[in-house]
A and B are shown apart, each in its own frame.
Chain A
Amino acid sequence: MKIGIITFPGSNCDRDCRHVVKTVLGYQAHLIWHQETSLSHVDVVILPGGFSYGDYLRAGAIARFSPIMESIRQFAEKGGIVLGICNGFQILLEAGLLPGAMLKNRYLSFICQDVSIKVENAETTFTNEYASDQVLTMPIAHAEGNYYADPMTLSALHDHAQIVFRYCDQHGDVTAEANPNGSLENIAGIRNKAGNVLGMMPHPERCAEDVFGKTDGVALFRSLRHALNQMVA
């Protein structure tokens, strides 16, 4: 599996993602500068977390104009796998590759902590190595993770099983108290209708090594590998 990780000016989880997928999990991975335009040599594109363009204007609002974004759009249209983490999710929303929008956190401040999330759909390109309803521990670190969609968009998300992760308590119950940022229906991650583009606020690359005592992120990257093998087969 060859993974391209996009570096926008202000990305700051690009090297963390590369460390996990390459050094820890042994896949091929390299950084791609946002002004490049070729994605012909990768199987998976990751838009990493960070503060592209300082989050000035709105998180992701400027990065969507980077030259690489047109290539990512075409890559996605052809069925290429695209994963947006945190700021990457925000960019995918701004670019229209995923539906909905991101608001500031309910209590306005930045939140960095481990949360529980529930795998709502374990039959996706991104989650096939998890069990359905499995409860994962993953860190979040963001100031704008309050996902919003209008009622029509939301019902389309339901109709096409696009909601992939929800914030929950440690028992897997999706409650208001377990929602860290006020996001609609506790949404933590969604995919597009075609199923090849995922955006998520939690950071799988921060929970993929034994040394941190949390490894729930590993299966997400393994799922990608599994999905690719299925495509080839």
Chain B
Amino acid sequence: MSATDSPIQQELIEQHGLSKDEYQNIVQHLGREPNLTELGVFSVMWSEHCSYKSSRVHLKRLPTEGERVVQGPGENAGAVDIGDGLAAVFKIESHNHPSFIEPFQGAATGVGGILRDIFTMGARPIALLNSLRFGALDLPKNRHLLKGVVSGISWYGNCIGVPTVGGEITFNDIYSKNPLVNVFCLGIVEKDRLLKGLAQGVGNPVLYIGAKTGRDGIHGATMASDSFDDQSDAKRPNVQVGDPFLEKLLLEVCLEFLEKDLLVGIQDMGAAGLTSSSCEMASRSGTGIELDVTHVPCREPNMTAYEMLLSESQERMLLVAKPGKEHDVIAICQKWGIDAAIIGRVTDDGMLRIKEGEAVVAEIPAKALAEEGPRYERPAHPPQYQDLLQGLVIENLPDVTNPSDVLLALLQSPTIASKRWVARQYDYMVGTNTLVCPGSDAAVVRIKGTDKALALTTDGNSRYCLLNPYLGGGLAVAEAARNLACSGAEPIGVTDCLNFGNPERPDIMWQFIMALEGMSDACRHFAIPVVSGNVSFYNETNGLSIYPTPVLGMVGLIEPASCVMTQWFKHEGDQIIVLGETKEDVGGTEYLKLVHAREQGNPPWLDLDQEHALHRTLLHAIRQGLIHSAHDCSEGGLAVTLAECCVSHPSTPRGATVQLAQSQLRVDALLFGESPSRAIVTASSAHVDALIGIANEQGLSAVVIGEVGGQALNITVVSDTQHHMDAVHLPVEVLADVWSHSFERQIESSDKS
């Protein structure tokens, strides 16, 4: 070691976000005190963001196996077999902290990072989705964040030419100081050509390709492992800057390597850059890596080894070439005009050894960094306010008297209103695969060269999770699977992005564990493996934590591709059928928040058997060609679902006349309650009996409630005493106008004021 290094002081250890115990642990691993460079390397690799130290013991609960699983968690992304020799590669990741500090670049580099995770697996990315959470739009800061994030995603995704086909945005004040930006990407690869982050073959050359290394993003991973306070703006220099054009070149270069079979392994330099990529590749392969930082292409002069190792400059890759192929690798990079340099080699001693010319500046066992970091089973118990949250006495609230007004208010609330203003800023068609564009339950992309298509969705209701994290976790899985089933797809894999507060707080840890358990039980019940994911802790500002927000990205297979279903009404005279039962589920609903200003109660109860029966019914009915539309019933309940079926067709809205039997329910529960395991479908009269037959065989209720047609949505509630209440009577053009344009009006009118 360099003799000039001064001993590490306690203050320096704290600056690096390491505890005293963690420091002692480092000394044990090394058998000596670390130098400053080594301390820096440990601090990022042992950060929450890279090490999953608070979550790892719990993540084991998730089911990760299944007959389709080609690659489970632990690689750059997960992969599932979709037949025809192909695998679907996908992952979801958060970029919450950078997006709050600098929304445009934060979101853009989030897109860049998830794309690299997919194409480092050798897969060509074919679809992006995003799941966003913001505070209410009446605050200018929130509009600024929303606009910045949307234009960052639009800039990066459009430029690289991967369509942004869907996603979701919901709003709650709790996200004002900590918005969430979760980005999902899916790619396709020939199954037996899947690339991995391996550094095998002692003596094989290690190459660096892509953007030059600068001083940007140093300690980004450490920042992402910390909470925010009012000084967070000062962290802006920690946010990286993206270059989608360079990434497009990198994408084509990597796919050309794959085609010519030049690589042993490859990994994105994401969080913790050169450090994480090199030690993870070596650790996975049981090898070591030796790098000479004087060969690293640098953007600025006089960068130290410490800076080069911790930089999070974007659009860079580390790869190990097959013996003798390094010059082919360099030639391809030259053709596309990007930097490539041999910076090291694979060794057999298990060490990550960093040299600066002849001098060794850091020498650490690769496994100590990548796998032997701290693991914490942090204390967890429910918060004291949990009883208060759940203690809603619905009888104390008046029932709804003006359902038409409530329906309109729900349709214009930004969480429910159409997000076309956002979607049209994304190129959702490039690639010519998009069969179902943004605006239905799930996006659908075809797989060229096959008769298959994949349905994609992201879902997660954080209010449900706040009120009951176990149920909330299960409901998120159920809704994602339901969205896929409504699109004609069988769910085949899921990726999760777990956004939570500070894990050092027992109440947050309790939320985390319970939500994970709920997700886990639901995934097991539906036999959907979790193949990749990401945990984002410390989503709190000034001690105020976000609601627990697990977001799921789920993928479903549609075969043949012609069995694609959409949510909107299509034919006059079609019968409208509700599948599944409506119960008194008012707790945690959008209605309760909007009308009664409460986020309280127990979220709707989830019966996993009923939910599964619904998925099977939908799939059978769609494959047998019995139905013309299917729409999942979620936020806003039956009334909002029916309205969306009427108006969400891209060009032709349609009316409907519906009668609902009250069956001892409150009217608000009947119209706006959010019982899960329900869907609204339409069928021609000739197919109704067959459809009901299928549902009943599955043990699912199916009831004809009305007919498509006319220029208005009419909903009559028939009480148990045969009293008829004209609950909703609204012209379709009014519904369409409110649902389609409210979102942009709120953004634009508030800007004028």
A contact set with B: CB distance below 8 Å: 9-10, 12-13, 16, 19-20, 23, 33, 49-51, 53-56, 109-114, 139, 141, 143, 203, 205-206, 209, 211-212
Contacts and interface: CB of A to CB of B under 8 A. Distances in A.
Given A20-B432, A54-B243, A212-B435, A12 B160 contact: yes
26 contacts: A9-B336, A10-B248, A16-B432, A19-B448, A33-B335, A49-B430, A51-B160, A54-B244, A56-B245, A110-B158, A110-B426, A112-B158, A112-B426, A112-B427, A112-B428, A112-B429, A141-B158, A141-B427, A203-B429, A205-B432, A206-B432, A209-B432, A211-B435, A211-B446, A212-B432, A212-B435
B665 interface: no
A105 to B, nearest CB: 11
A33 B256 CA distance: 14
Contacts of B243: 54
Interface in B649-677: 650
Contacts of B160: 12, 51
B476 to A, nearest CB: 29
A154 B253 CA distance: 43
B245 A54 contact: yes
A12 B426 CA distance: 14
A212 B160 CA distance: 23
B380 interface: no
B249 interface: yes
Contacts of B249: 9-10
Nearest to A209: B432
B641 interface: no
Contact of A12 (B336, B430, B650): B430
Contacts of A203: 429
B159 interface: yes
Given A10-B248, A109-B425, 4 more contacts: A12-B161, A51-B245, A54-B245, A212-B435
A9 B430 contact: no
B337 interface: yes
Contact of A141 (B336, B429, B446, B650): B429
Interface in B442-475: 446, 448
B425 A110 contact: yes
A211 B435 CA distance: 7
A110 B336 contact: no
Interface in B608-654: 650
B430 A51 contact: no
B161 A51 contact: yes
A177 to B, nearest CB: 14
A49 B244 CA distance: 16
A22 to B, nearest CB: 12
A10 B245 contact: yes
B561 interface: yes
Nearest to A17: B432
Contacts of B159: 10, 12, 51, 54-55
B431 interface: yes
Given A110-B154, A110-B158, A111-B425, A19 B245 contact: no
Contacts of B426: 110, 112
Nearest to B246: A54
B141 interface: no
A53 B154 CA distance: 17
Task: State the 3 A-B residue pairs at the shortest beta-carbon distance, nearest first.
Answer: A12-B161, A54-B245, A51-B159
Chain A CB within 10 A, most for which of B248, B425, B430, B431: B430
B436 to A, nearest CB: 10
A233 to B, nearest CB: 33
A121 B111 CA distance: 42
A10 B431 CA distance: 14
B418 interface: no
Chain A CB within 10 A, most for which of B154, B248, B428: B248
Nearest to A11: B161
B337 A9 contact: yes
B276 interface: no
Contacts, number: 80
Contacts of B427: 110, 112, 141
Interface string B11-54: 00000000000000000000000000000000000000000000
Contacts of B428: 112
A20 B431 CA distance: 11
A55 B159 CA distance: 8
A102 B432 CA distance: 25
Nearest to A203: B429
A185 B158 CA distance: 27
Contact of B430 (A54, A141, A143): A141
A16 B433 CA distance: 9
Nearest to A141: B427
A90 to B, nearest CB: 14
Contacts of B561: 211
Nearest to B337: A9
Given A9-B245, A141-B427, A51 B158 contact: yes
A139 B424 CA distance: 11
Nearest to A56: B245
Nearest to B150: A109
B207 to A, nearest CB: 20
A49 B431 CA distance: 11
A158 B428 CA distance: 35
A55 B428 CA distance: 19
Interface string B154-168: 110011110000000
Interface in B534-568: 561
A153 B568 CA distance: 46
Contacts of A50: 161
Interface string B51-63: 0000000000000
A109 B155 CA distance: 10
Nearest to B161: A12
B151 interface: yes
Nearest to B433: A16
Given A12-B430, A16-B432, A51 B425 contact: no
Chain A CB within 10 A, most for which of B159, B244, B432, B446: B432
A56 B246 CA distance: 11
A62 to B, nearest CB: 10
A111 B151 CA distance: 11
Contacts of A20: 432
A202 B245 CA distance: 22
A19 B126 CA distance: 15
A110 B158 CA distance: 9
Interface string B560-593: 0100000000000000000000000000000000
Contacts of A55: 159, 245
A141 B249 CA distance: 21
Chain A CB within 10 A, most for which of B243, B424, B426, B429: B429
Contact of A13 (B154, B161, B336): B161
A113 to B, nearest CB: 5
Given A9-B336, A10-B159, A13-B161, A206 B429 contact: yes
A49 B430 CA distance: 9
Chain B CB within 10 A, most for which of A16, A110, A112, A141: A112
Contacts of B336: 9
Chain A CB within 10 A, most for which of B159, B246, B426, B427: B427
A216 B428 CA distance: 19
Nearest to B162: A12
Contacts of B424: 111-113
Contacts of A110: 154-155, 158, 425-427
Contacts of B446: 211
A29 to B, nearest CB: 14
Interface in B396-438: 423-432, 435
Nearest to A23: B448
A212 to B, nearest CB: 7
Contacts of A9: 245, 248-249, 336-337
Contacts of B425: 109-112
A10 to B, nearest CB: 5
Interface in B136-183: 151, 154-155, 158-161
